[in-house]
Amino acid sequence: MTIEELKAELTNKSYPEEVRIAVDMVVTNVPHFLSASFAAAERWTKDLEKCPAWLRLQKFKEAVAALEG
């Protein structure tokens, strides 16, 4: 999946106020999290699969999918 594909999938949707993406990670401001994470991923020049922001976005996607059932 590309950054553009993931951005299209995750943006312009409504989310709960808090989304737990890991045992030790809770997103409390989803719009800011998405904006900052996508900006960091777009600036990443190495392998995208090693980008911390990209990995957090993947965890967010999985957490949201689990919430949706």
The DSSP annotation for 27-52 comes to: ES-HHHHHHHHHHHHHH--S-GGG-H
Q: Model pTM greater than 0.75?
A: yes
Look up residue 60 and give its two tokens. Answer: 């967010």
CA gap 2, 25 in Å, rounded = 23
End-to-end, the C-alpha distance of the chain in Å comes to 22
Q: Mind listing the pLDDT tens digit for each residue in 1-43?
A: 999 999 999 999 999 999 999 999 999 999 999 999 999 999 9
Q: What percent of the chain has pLDDT over 70?
A: 100
CA gap 61, 59 in Å, rounded = 5
- Domain residue limits, the chain: 3-68
